[in-house]
Amino acid sequence: MSPRPDTFRTCEFWIGRAGAGKTYGCLAAMAEELRRSPRGFPLLLLVPEQATAQMERRLAAWPGLVGGYARARVFSFQHLARQALAAGGGELGPTLGETGRVMLLRR
């Protein structure tokens, strides 16, 4: 089954070594798209767990986005997995804590 034209989305991967400007480029591209079209499909930025709050702050403080933004969303890998499972009717089961991992490894 092919996707409907109104549901087609694109995905961009920005790869490169540290200091190459990946983060700046992603945020600049998102800010430009938000300025160009404040309404539309959500723009997702996928970052490591520890960087989500920092990226949200950087995007909110981006020059030219004075009124804020509603389309942009910053997700960690785990948060994106939870959202995908919830949207598909699935549910993320309970995870093992440190004690459970130790018990499992000792078997």
Give pLDDT tens digits for 2-48.
445 555 578 888 899 999 999 999 999 989 988 888 888 888 899 99
d(CA 103, CA 99): 6
Give pLDDT tens digits for 37-95.
888 888 889 999 999 999 999 988 888 877 677 888 999 988 888 888 888 777 666 77
Give strand pairing partners of 75: 46
d(CA 91, CA 24): 34
Q: Which residues, including other chains, have CB under 8 Å from residue 56's CB and lie 6 or more apart?
A: 74
